[in-house]
Structure 1
Amino acid sequence: MASIDHYENFPVASWLCPAHLRPAVAALYHFARTADDIADEGDAPAHHRLNDLAEYRADLNLCLAGSTTPSQRWPALFAALAHAVQQHQLPAQPLHDLLDAFEQDVVYTSVGQGYRNRAELLDYCRRSANPVGRLMLHLYGVSDNTSLHQSDAICTALQLINFWQDRPLDLARGRNYLPQAHALEEELQFARALMNQGAPLAKRVQGRAGWELRAVVQGGLRILDKLEAEQNRPRLNRTDLLCIAWRCLRM
């Protein structure tokens, strides 16, 4: 699933996405992207970021409640999100979970806190990544427990891959996602196991969405191949894209 700009976890409306879902996917992307920018971009102190995220959450609550009062700071964003919520009956919890994760990033960065173990990191991924997959499955009308758990595995794997490929950048910003007493090689293997665990979902989701999900899975696995070989931020070239396409066909 192709992404726009720099919110890596959110699959955005590509040509594989049915046209009637593209506005909702774009609205969700911009909701997540803007919150991520509040948490990450610029040089505002932590308490300003948290205040802004609190105001953002208040506007989300109004949006979810069906309020006709426009957001003062983000009117276009919440107008589009309100339309998506109404049209597709989007669940509230995944949207709040995303904001919880962004707030945690602000707090952890401000005090230099890392993750003591993998369980803590996975709890963060449960809120920072897994909501994306669950929202997408909701749009596609998929709600069985097996699909939800496989989606969670894929989304957590993607989040972990993002962490490990961006590790030098994160460390420079005061963020360390590598659990204490864990080696990077071990975490790369764990991310691969999670991706393989979730991969069957790509064959169970029908139509173009299934093919897009195959590309997500195989793209993540290919990045892991390169990370294991190079252990620096990989760049996918034409050969890699052909490899991904071939693996998608063979799934």
Structure 2
Amino acid sequence: MPSQFTASTSAWTREAASRYCARLARSHYENFTVGSWLVPRDKLRHIYAVYAYCRTVDDLGDEALPEEADAGGQGIDTTSLLKDSLAQRRPDVAGDVREFRLALLDLWQRELEACYSGLPTHPVMVALQETIETFDIPREPFLKLIEANRMEQRASRYATYGGLLDYCQHSANPVGHLFLYLFGYRDEERQRLSDSTCTALQLANFWQDVARDYQKGRIYLPQEDMEQFGYSEAELSQGVFNPNFQRLMAFEVERAMDLFRVGADLVPRLSGVARLDVSLFTRGGVSVLEAIRRRQYDVLSGRPSLSRARKARLFLSSWLGWKLGLRFRVPG
């Protein structure tokens, strides 16, 4: 039985596709800053479309399994439409998770190309095509996000910090570029500063989730750094927290802080809600790193996180800074 994805494009008008993306975004409301509530409605639909694209490509690379049934009743599952289509086109990949995900990503890229030169059929892409046309967004950031998820299928360890940064250039930095396009910023200087902030946010997430990622079979701590500080993968597998691990994490946290310090110069170069949102993201990422420090860098026995009260204070301080034109400085 053909899925909606393989049906004719008339199954998804742009308005219906936009509502689909909005439902998807709202079902993951924790990923939106409070500042998003202040975004004009006509722009918010485009933010939803970009978010839906990013969310789906990450799900394809990180969550999709051949044997999964449709989510029915568990919320919006944008990947199920792709899985149905793939089952018809590539039944040969059904038994291999890695090949299955790579095939899904190939299918997703074909849909992206249809946004630029044809008629996309997936609802996320139908909505995204309007956003691409409205803001004249190039292919590159979208393609990099797909490539980042291909990289995830090929590597679960990073030999060097440079290799990890290359991954961040594909997985995190394009999101910042897309955000800037949506708010009318296209210059290289703002993109450069955005790259520092987005990479720092990605690293903060990695250092927050060292234990969780290891359980998924992934280690983002560069192997060269683990060797430098005398901490082994065998110790990580046992959750060994010792002075060597503390020094390793202190080193990684400080490098991420340095990136936040560089990226903080983006905030005064923005205006309106964009300025508030970037300030919130920056303060949130810095607060995660500070939470790691407060735990004496022990991210193995528990996950450092921000309380609701802390998040509320972050919003209040960012909002006041936004209204008063104050500049946020990353702690030294």
- Same fold by TM-score greater than 0.5: yes
Tell me whether 34-43 or 85-94 shows the greater mean CA deviation.
34-43
Q: What's the counterpart of residue 34 of structure 1? A: 56
Aligned residues: 240
1:118 pairs with 2:161: yes
Equivalences for 1:76-95 in 2 at 5 Å?
A: 76-95=123-142
Q: 1:96 to 1:52 in 2, by over 3 A?
A: same
Give the C-alpha shift of residue 235 in structure 1.
Answer: 2.5
Note the alpha carbon deviations across 1:115-154, whole angstroms, 9 max, x for none.
1111100011001000011111111111222211110000
Q: Pick one of 162, 171, 179 that aligns with 2:214.
A: 171
Distance 1:159 1:4 in 2: 22
- What is the TM-score when the length of structure 1 is the normalising length? 0.88
Q: 1:187 to 1:173 in 2, by over 3 A?
A: same
1:244 pairs with 2:314: yes
Give the C-alpha shift of residue 165 in structure 1.
Answer: 0.9
Letter in 2 for 1:34: T
Letter in 1 for 2:261: N
Q: What's the counterpart of residue 5 of structure 1? A: 28
Distance 1:178 1:195 in 2: 19
Q: Pick one of 145, 151, 175 that aligns with 1:98.
A: 145
Letter in 1 for 2:311: L
Q: What's the counterpart of residue 19 of structure 1? A: 41
1:193 pairs with 2:270: no
Report the secondary structure of 1:123's partner residue: helix
* Residues 7, 33 of structure 1: 8 Å contact kept: no
Distance 1:32 1:190 in 2: 26
Distance 1:6 1:175 in 2: 26
Distance 1:99 1:13 in 2: 27
Report the secondary structure of 1:14's partner residue: helix
Distance 1:16 1:180 in 2: 43
Q: 1:26 to 1:246 in 2, by over 3 A?
A: closer
Q: Pick one of 213, 220, 227 that aligns with 2:278.
A: 213
Distance 1:240 1:23 in 2: 29
Letter in 2 for 1:180: Q
Give the C-alpha shift of residue 215 in structure 1.
Answer: 1.0
Give the C-alpha shift of residue 247 in structure 1.
Answer: 4.8
* Residues 31, 77 of structure 1: 8 Å contact kept: yes
- What is the TM-score when the length of structure 2 is the normalising length? 0.67
Distance 1:165 1:19 in 2: 34
The runs of 5 or more residues in structure 2 that have no matched partner are 1-24, 67-96, 226-247
The runs of 5 or more residues in structure 1 that have no matched partner are none
- Structure 1 runs (4+) deviating above 6 angstroms are 10-13
* Residues 61, 101 of structure 2: 8 Å contact kept: yes
Letter in 2 for 1:120: G
Distance 2:201 2:26 in 1: 13
Distance 2:147 2:30 in 1: 16
Distance 1:12 1:92 in 2: 29
Report the secondary structure of 1:174's partner residue: coil
Note the alpha carbon deviations across 1:5-28, whole angstroms, 9 max, x for none.
3996x8798213232221111111
* Residues 35, 273 of structure 2: 8 Å contact kept: no
1:147 pairs with 2:190: yes
1:128 pairs with 2:171: yes
Report the secondary structure of 2:220's partner residue: coil
Q: What's the counterpart of residue 235 of structure 1? A: 305
Report the secondary structure of 1:35's partner residue: helix
Report the secondary structure of 1:185's partner residue: helix
Q: 1:206 to 1:23 in 2, by over 3 A?
A: same
Give the C-alpha shift of residue 204 in structure 1.
Answer: 1.5
Distance 2:26 2:283 in 1: 15
Q: What's the counterpart of residue 162 of structure 1? A: 205
Q: 1:95 to 1:42 in 2, by over 3 A?
A: closer
Note the alpha carbon deviations across 1:38-70, whole angstroms, 9 max, x for none.
1111444101111111111111111122x12x4
* Residues 206, 220 of structure 2: 8 Å contact kept: yes
What's the RMSD between the two structures over aligned residues? 2.3
1:204 pairs with 2:269: yes
Q: 1:84 to 1:116 in 2, by over 3 A?
A: same
Give the C-alpha shift of residue 97 in structure 1.
Answer: 0.3
* Residues 12, 26 of structure 1: 8 Å contact kept: no
